[in-house]
Amino acid sequence: MTSHFSRVAFTYDRTRYHPPEVSGRIATALTAPVEKLFRDPLFLEIGAGTGRIAVPIIARGYRYIALDNNPAMLEVLRQKVAGVARKARLVEADARELPFERASLHAVIAVHCWHLIEGWQQALQESLRVLRPGGFLFEGWDRSNGESEDWRIQQKWQEILAGLGYRLVRGRHQARLEEVERELVRYGLEPRSRIVADWVELRSPRTSLEMLLERIYSFTWAVPEEVFRPSVLELARWVEATYPDPDVEYPIHWQFVVRSSRVA
Ligand code: SAM
């Protein structure tokens, strides 16, 4: 997994772009409840990646530890926070073995990472270990309603792959979120989800195609090269035949969900 993130570090932000006002709303949703209860709170984000969630919070002056096990992702983040990172620390470490004291942090944030961490149960235990009593575990994710042209292109690719005898596995992220929720309940926590932002992204069929071609999404990574290559060529032909102008943009309706759990 690490090597894939090294490859996509410089293009990652294209897959999960947040308009500035959305970043702001997410930052508020993650900081306001903590600030209400703790003075000068210390945040930790595990799997912080290129800092889509971290940067807006760091820019507001919070004490923030952005942790990731991939140096290339962290390097992109380092460049973004140069100059505003007064109270930020970037830590290269494994989320399953957090280099922090028990009960030393006020909030732990995990966005789009549980499904990518082998042994996520240990990372979850570690996140809970480092939280102070009353501290918050925040999980966050983007979701779209599956009614976009982007989705249609991804579905078409899945169909083409099936025609080539390859079954694409999707939905790992959602399945993992459900597993994590069950685990949180097992720990006696009461996770609560809410939508904290919604927005519309405009994306052209050409961009949707390129994002698959560049294997930016983790669901593309397992497809063997000998299947991947003919499948995307066929998809490119389909896109050309289906969209008279592949640069015309279509809407994707997004929401950002935050699930919060407070430790006793
Ligand atoms: N949270 C960021 C966001 O939403 O933009 C990045 C999400 S990215 C899909 C997942 C990140 O988790 C990657 O940067 C990857 O390197 C990191 N990651 C995967 N396994 C990890 C582990 N065991 N420990 C720390 N980070 C890990």
Which two tokens mark 98? 């957090």
Among candidate residues 46, 55, 52, 63, the one with its CA nearest the CA of residue 83: 55
DSSP, res 134: E
Cβ–ligand 1 contact at 66 (below 6 Å): no
The CATH number of 2-145+171-200+253-262, from 1.20.1270.10, 2.40.50.360, 3.40.50.300, 3.40.50.150, is 3.40.50.150
Does ipTM come in above 0.90? yes
DSSP codes, 204-242: -HHHHHHHHHTT-SGGGTTS-HHHHHHHHHHHHHHHHHH
pLDDT tens, 147-188? 999 999 999 999 999 999 999 989 899 999 999 999 999 999
For the chain, the average pLDDT equals: 94
Instruction: Name the residue of 8, 13, 70 whose CB sits within 8 Å of the most ligand 1 atoms, as the mutation to test its pocket.
Output: 70
**More confident position, 247 or 84:** 247
Cβ–ligand 1 contact at 177 (below 6 Å): no
End-to-end CA distance of the chain: 34
Helices 149-163/205-213 angle, 10° precision: 40
Residue 8 has a pLDDT of: 67
pLDDT tens, 86-129? 799 999 999 999 999 999 999 999 999 999 999 999 999 999 99
CA 48, CA 40: separation in Å to the nearest integer?
A: 21
Cβ–ligand 1 contact at 68 (below 6 Å): yes
pLDDT tens, 126-142? 999 999 999 999 999 99
Cβ–ligand 1 contact at 112 (below 6 Å): yes
Cβ–ligand 1 contact at 256 (below 6 Å): no
Distances (CA, A) of 81 to 76, 103, 195, 246: 9, 27, 27, 35
Q: Which residue carries 């997410």 as its tokens?
A: 26
pLDDT confidence tier of residue 75, bands split at 50, 70 and 90: very high
Residue 161 has a pLDDT of: 98
Cβ–ligand 1 contact at 55 (below 6 Å): no
Residues contacting residue 24 through CB under 8 Å, at least 6 positions apart: 56
Instruction: Name the residue of 8, 17, 69 whose CB sits within 8 Å of the most ligand 1 atoms, as the mutation to test its pocket.
Output: 69
Q: What is the mean pLDDT of residues 58-70?
A: 96
Nearest atom within ligand 1 for CA of residue 111: 1
DSSP codes, 22-57: HHHHHHHHHHHHHHHHSSS-EEEEET-TT-TTHHHH
Cβ–ligand 1 contact at 16 (below 6 Å): yes
pLDDT tens, 220-240? 999 999 999 999 999 999 999
Q: For atom 15 of ligand 1, which residue has the closest CA?
A: 47
Nearest atom within ligand 1 for CA of residue 2: 16
Residue 3 has pLDDT above 80, yes or no: no
DSSP codes, 171-210: -HHHHHHHHHHHHHHHTT---EEEEEEEEEEEE-HHHHHH
Q: For atom 20 of ligand 1, which residue has the closest CA?
A: 117
% of the chain with per-residue pLDDT over 70: 96
Q: Where are the beta strands (DSSP E) in 215-249?
A: none
pTM of the model: 0.93
pLDDT confidence tier of residue 145, bands split at 50, 70 and 90: confident
CA 236, CA 256: separation in Å to the nearest integer?
A: 30
Sign of the C-alpha dihedral computed for residues 13, 172, 239 and 166 taken in this order:
positive
pLDDT confidence tier of residue 84, bands split at 50, 70 and 90: confident
DSSP bridge pairs for 204: none
Q: Which residue carries 């005898």 as its tokens?
A: 165
Q: Which residue carries 């309940």 as its tokens?
A: 185
CA 178, CA 150: separation in Å to the nearest integer?
A: 25
